[in-house]
Amino acid sequence: MEMRAGRARPVLRYGHVVLHQPCRPADSFGAELAGLVDDMFASMYAADGVGLAANQIGVRCRVFVYDCPDATGARQAGHVVNPVLRFPAALAAPAMGFEGCLSLPGQYADVARAPVATVTGFDRDGRELTVTGTGVLARCLQHEIDHLDGVVYVDRLPEDQRAEIVAAAVLGGLTGGRRSAQPPHPAVLPGTSSRRTASRRAWAAALNWHSLTWRA
């Protein structure tokens, strides 16, 4: 698990121009990049998130951080610089799953994602790495790559549903998208660190990603 000193920065809201532009690859590895990764972890934890892309704190650099469970419920935390998303050769049908975003606080919707995903890239020191995710981690990897490509999860939804969710996020306190009996996505759950950890466990236990059907 990655826990280093960092400074929490404000998370940009949907509609900010930086969130809707592709990020640039990191072209050097050093203290500046390492400091950005530290600040991203601090920002993610301060916002009770399970993942964060650099452009969500206003930096157009292809870096993301994550801290969420895989399909077994095991907690996985890390970061990837200049990530490339890959899928298995025998790609399973996409699965629908509840998804939220720190840039659209309080809002959730079903989004189709591949149940298994692999990301290759580098760590903050320039060492090559590979992360393969299942369950929530697979969804998180795809969600964060979308961010780095200038795509927010609501951009994958029908226009009317997207407009409803964005309006609800702006107004605050209203529920956009679909309601669900499932626990809220911990990416936007308020509360203490212990509460956040408990919510992650409850959410992972409540969802069986492989049994969800793809509803177009």
| Catalytic center residues | 144
Q: Which of 170, 123, 122, 119 is nearest to 149 (CA)?
A: 119
Tell the residue number behind the tokens 């950005």, with chain if given.
36
Burial (0-12, 13-18, 19+ Cβ within 10 Å), 197: middle
How far is the C-alpha of 40 from the C-alpha of 51, rounded, in Å?
Answer: 9
Structure tokens at 158: 């029908």
Amino acid (1-letter code) at residue 201: R
How far is the C-alpha of 216 from the C-alpha of 110, rounded, in Å?
Answer: 10
Q: Are strands 75-86 and 128-134 parallel, antiparallel or unpaired?
A: unpaired
